[in-house]
C-alpha cells in the first residue's frame, strides 16, 4: 500500500466500486414516550456493484423505466384504459353541465 494521499476522485471510485453501508437510528422521545423512530439503512455503490450484489429493483420499477411498463402492460391495454378514462371524463362533464343548467334555472341540482 502506498502512502500518498488519495484524492476525492480516488475515494469516490473506491466507494462506488466496493460499496458502502451506512446504518443509523434516530429516536425522538418526550418524557420517556417514544414519538418517532427512524431506522435508516443506506447502501451507496455503482449500479453495476449493486446488480452484482442482487440489488436491481429499479430495473422493473415503472417509475424508472416507463418504456418497460408499457411493454409489460401492453399497448392495447393502455389504449383501452385511455378510452375508458376519456369516456368517464365526458360523462362527468355532461353531468356537471346538466347540474349547472339546473342551478341556473333556479332549480336544485
DSSP 108: -
Spatial distance between the Cα atoms of 78 and 101, rounded to a whole number of angstroms: 34
Q: Which residues contact 58 (CB under 8 A, 6 or more apart)?
A: 64, 65
Prediction pTM value = 0.39
Spatial distance between the Cα atoms of 37 and 43, rounded to a whole number of angstroms: 20
**Which pLDDT does position 84 carry in this prediction?**
94
- The alpha carbon of 13 is separated from its chain's Cα centroid by a whole number of angstroms, namely 27
**Which pLDDT does position 109 carry in this prediction?**
60
**Which pLDDT does position 86 carry in this prediction?**
95
SS3 label, residue 77: helix
Residue percentage of the chain with pLDDT more than 70: 81
Q: Which three cell numbers stand for residue 27?
A: 429516536
Amino acid at each position: 500500500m502506498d502512502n500518498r494521499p488519495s484524492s476525492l476522485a480516488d475515494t469516490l471510485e473506491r466507494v462506488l466500486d466496493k460499496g458502502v453501508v451506512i446504518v443509523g437510528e434516530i429516536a425522538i422521545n418526550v418524557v420517556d414516550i417514544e414519538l418517532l423512530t427512524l431506522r435508516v439503512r443506506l447502501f451507496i455503490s455503482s449500479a453495476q456493484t449493486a446488480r452484482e450484489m442482487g440489488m436491481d429493483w429499479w430495473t422493473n420499477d415503472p417509475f424508472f423505466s416507463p418504456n418497460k411498463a408499457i411493454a409489460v402492460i401492453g399497448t392495447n391495454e393502455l389504449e383501452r384504459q385511455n378510452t375508458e378514462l376519456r369516456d368517464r371524463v365526458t360523462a362527468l362533464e355532461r353531468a356537471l353541465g346538466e347540474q349547472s343548467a339546473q342551478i341556473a334555472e333556479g332549480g336544485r341540482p
